[in-house]
């Protein structure tokens, strides 16, 4: 009988370890940028080719390395951060395990140049498949440059799992954003295939947020700052009107390290209770600073999940700090002199904040929850359902809108003529009643229109393109770098669906044409909302890129609840709905109509 257990060769062990640390180009970007931050850099440049598949290079002006350190940094578990087990519980640096460069060297061809300030010459090292191929002196600026080429060149199976360049670029931008956000005092640049996507000058946190997330947040940020003996919280949250349907603009940092925490996100959501719709997500960039002994960062390979010594205390402080900031914003609004003059004339700013209004706000549960003692852990129970009040309001006449204001619905399908003679009625500008046999159907107009558009777009995507209407005055659209990457990825499919969009310089696009039923002047808004909807659907991995796009367009272009429809438009909507292959369900699985039969109604009214 022979032995069955044996040691793996180093090259295989290194590649297995690399799988935990380097899963895609974005993983390497994160590790290299964090190393550059730990080196004390004030400027960090990220250079890519083919979204990191061909080249990832990080150049910094940090402390640099000696010849021995430069050679040692590629060994497994080689680190300058830990000398004893006790050091593991006092970590304040970004990296500490000493696995990043060893893992990168196991799956890429690496070139390193490094020099310390006091050295006459630097050191140049080439590593391939964990083996040092060359080492020699070199003239190089103070700092370090690491270039990794041909990621997974020696593991073709893993290279095949990489997504398109546009998809990989989105992951890289996410990691770049997280590191750049947490160190606003450092200059960062990102260049891909010779085109600079980001140039972030060193500055304040607010400036960095606006650089990364868009100028629309310029006047819509609320400062959060609370300091206690146990922990400090600082950063910004968005005013309630900035809440979106996606979680994208949400960042937590603990001791400057980006983390994901559904628990702390719940704390922030509770602070916004009754301020935003239940299906919306507030923007926040929050930094928690506390003693490293109170947090364990060594519980996940990417360090994005951490463990607090006392989660309840942290939850309470986060919730209270955000509540306090929002309450101050609500009770004592301040004029921002950078606001546009036209905004200053709005009634919400011009109206005086009377004692009556102040008393009403001060007596709210939100204000009391923070100002009264022993309320940090208090979470209000959801209110019990109340009986319907003001029932007569349902029967008040609804204001008519002009024919031009109503949404344009698609031509009727000749297969569905049975609704031409029936009497229809619109209720609450959101539902349409349709007589049927021994009862009636209640149709949800937005869900129904989403189903109609979804099936039309699916047909167009697999066949003849939707005709595009050329714009007499093309619109220029300027996006954040992250959204520009998404739009570039979507452009070929958008063209098939009737949108003609062309790149026009750095993060700028020109909308040359749109489908005929898109109202002129709304093109920019539609693309903005489309990208937001696409990010929302991107959270569900089971959808293909085209499916996400079509669902986003259907939701964006559908007639919304609260829109008054003429009788002709109601009839058109019902006719088109029941011409669909699956008329009873919207694309996201919600019913498009409910059916009420006579016997059901009679049972409902029996005592």
pLDDT at site 416: 46
Segment 558-568 shows an average pLDDT of: 86
Q: Are 573 and 455 found together in one domain?
A: yes
Q: Are 14 and 110 found together in one domain?
A: yes
| pTM for the full predicted model | 0.66
Strand partners, 109: 128, 149
Residue 30's alpha-carbon distances to 80, 148, 175, in angstroms, are 18, 13, 6
Q: Are 220 and 343 found together in one domain?
A: yes
Residue 415's alpha-carbon distances to 336, 368, 371, 419, 422, in angstroms, are 58, 61, 64, 11, 16
The 10s digit of each residue's pLDDT in 40-71 is 999 999 999 999 999 999 999 999 988 888 88
Q: Are 225 and 330 found together in one domain?
A: yes
Higher-confidence position of 300 and 509: 509
Nearest Cα residue to 139 out of 168, 158, 159, 114: 114
Write the CATH number for 484: 3.30.1370.100
pLDDT at site 362: 59
pLDDT at site 61: 95
pLDDT at site 291: 80
> Does 112 map to a domain?
yes
End-to-end Cα, the chain, rounded Å: 83
Q: Are 236 and 136 found together in one domain?
A: no
Write the CATH number for 301: 3.30.230.10
pLDDT at site 384: 40
Q: Are 62 and 115 found together in one domain?
A: yes
Q: Are 295 and 230 found together in one domain?
A: yes
Q: Which two tokens stand for residue 187?
A: 């200059």
Q: Are 228 and 157 found together in one domain?
A: no
Q: Are 184 and 324 found together in one domain?
A: no
pLDDT at site 536: 65
Q: Are 353 and 255 found together in one domain?
A: yes
Q: How many domains are there within the chain?
A: 3
Q: What is the mean pLDDT of the chain?
A: 77
Evaluate if residue 364 carries a pLDDT over 60: no
- Kind of pairing, strands 250-254 and 284-290? parallel
Segment 93-118 shows an average pLDDT of: 79
Q: Are 192 and 211 found together in one domain?
A: no
Write the CATH number for 188: 3.30.565.10
Q: Which two tokens stand for residue 327?
A: 């309450």
> Does 220 map to a domain?
yes
Eight-state DSSP code of residue 233: E
Q: How crowded is residue 570: how many other Cβ atoms within 10 Å of its Cβ?
A: 22
Helices (H) and strands (E) in the chain, counts: 19, 22
> Does 539 map to a domain?
yes
Evaluate if residue 331 carries a pLDDT over 60: no
pLDDT at site 439: 86
Q: Under 8 Å CB-to-CB from 114, ≥6 apart: which residues?
A: 64, 65, 70, 122, 123, 140, 143, 144, 145
pLDDT at site 53: 92
Chain-centroid distance, C-alpha 340: 28
Domain end residue (candidates: 371, 397, 420): 371
The 10s digit of each residue's pLDDT in 388-430 is 444 344 434 444 444 344 444 444 444 345 666 678 888 998 9
**Mean pLDDT comparison of 198-202, 471-475, 597-601, highest-scoring range:** 198-202
Evaluate if residue 370 carries a pLDDT over 60: no
Q: Are 101 and 133 found together in one domain?
A: yes
Structural domain harbouring 157: 10-203
> Does 381 map to a domain?
no
Q: Under 8 Å CB-to-CB from 89, ≥6 apart: which residues?
A: 292, 293, 296
Domain end residue (candidates: 203, 237, 258): 203
Distance (Å, whole) CA 426 – CA 563: 10
Total number of residues shown for the chain: 607
Q: Which two tokens stand for residue 122?
A: 């630097």
pLDDT at site 358: 59
Domain end residue (candidates: 203, 234, 250): 203
Strand partners, 136: 124
């Amino acid at each position: 009988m022979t032995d069955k257990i044996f040691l793996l060769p180093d090259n295989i062990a290194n590649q297995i370890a690399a799988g935990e640390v380097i899963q895609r180009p974005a993983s390497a970007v994160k590790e290299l940028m964090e190393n550059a931050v730990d080196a004390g850099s004030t400027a960090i440049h990220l250079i890519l080719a083919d979204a990191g598949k061909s080249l990832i290079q990080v150049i910094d002006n940090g402390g640099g390395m000696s010849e021995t350190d430069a050679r040692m940094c590629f060994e497994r578990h080689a680190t300058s951060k830990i000398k004893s087990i006790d050091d593991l519980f006092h970590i304040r640096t970004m990296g500490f395990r000493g696995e990043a460069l060893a893992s990168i060297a196991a799956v890429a061809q690496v070139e390193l140049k490094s020099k310390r300030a006091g050295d006459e010459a630097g050191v140049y090292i080439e590593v391939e498949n964990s083996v040092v191929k060359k080492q020699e002196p070199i003239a190089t600026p103070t700092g370090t440059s690491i270039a990794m080429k041909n990621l997974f060149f020696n593991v073709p199976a893993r290279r095949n799992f990489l997504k398109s360049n546009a998809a990989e670029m989105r992951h890289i931008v996410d990691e770049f954003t997280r590191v750049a956000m947490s160190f606003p005092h450092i200059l960062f640049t990102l260049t891909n295939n010779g085109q600079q996507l980001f140039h972030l000058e060193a500055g304040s946190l607010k400036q960095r947020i606006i650089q990364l997330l868009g100028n629309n947040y310029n006047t819509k940020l609320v400062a959060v700052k609370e300091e206690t003996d146990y922990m400090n919280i600082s950063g910004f949250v968005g005013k309630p009107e900035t809440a979106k349907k996606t979680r994208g603009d949400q960042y937590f940092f603990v001791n400057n390290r980006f983390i994901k925490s559904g628990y702390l996100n719940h704390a922030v959501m509770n602070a916004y209770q009754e301020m935003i719709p239940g299906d919306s997500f507030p923007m926040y960039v929050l930094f928690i600073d506390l003693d490293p002994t109170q947090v364990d960062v060594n519980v996940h390979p990417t360090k994005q999940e951490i463990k607090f010594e006392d989660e309840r205390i942290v939850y309470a402080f986060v919730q209270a700090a955000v509540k306090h900031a929002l309450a101050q914003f609500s009770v004592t609004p301040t004029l921002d002199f950078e606001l546009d003059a036209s905004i200053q004339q709005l009634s919400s700013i011009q109206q005086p904040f009377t004692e009556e209004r102040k008393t009403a706000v001060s007596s709210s549960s939100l204000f009391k929850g923070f100002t009264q003692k022993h309320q940090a852990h208090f979470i209000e129970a959801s209110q019990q359902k109340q009986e319907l009040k003001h029932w007569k309001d349902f029967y008040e006449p609804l204001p008519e809108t002009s024919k031009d204001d109503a949404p344009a619905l698609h031509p009727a399908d000749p297969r569905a003529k049975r609704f031409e003679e029936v009497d229809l009625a619109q209720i609450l500008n959101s539902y349409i009643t349709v007589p049927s046999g021994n009862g009636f159907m209640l149709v949800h107009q937005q869900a129904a229109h989403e189903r109609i558009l979804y099936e039309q777009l699916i047909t167009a995507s697999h066949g003849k393109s939707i005709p595009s209407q050329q714009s007499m005055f093309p619109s220029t659209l300027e996006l954040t770098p992250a959204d520009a990457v998404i739009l570039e990825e979507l452009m070929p499919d958008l063209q098939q669906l009737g949108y003609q969009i062309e790149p026009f310089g750095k993060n700028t696009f020109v909308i040359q044409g749109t489908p005929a039923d898109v109202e002129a002047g709304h093109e920019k808004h539609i693309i903005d909302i489309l990208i937001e909807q696409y990010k929302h659907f991107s959270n569900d991995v089971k959808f293909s890129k085209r499916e996400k796009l079509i669902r986003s367009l259907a939701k964006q272009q559908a007639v919304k609840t609260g829109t008054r429809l003429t009788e002709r438009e109601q009839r058109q909507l019902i006719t088109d709905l029941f011409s669909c292959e699956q008329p009873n369900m919207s694309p996201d699985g919600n019913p498009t109509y409910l059916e009420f039969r006579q016997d059901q109604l009679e049972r409902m009214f029996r005592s």
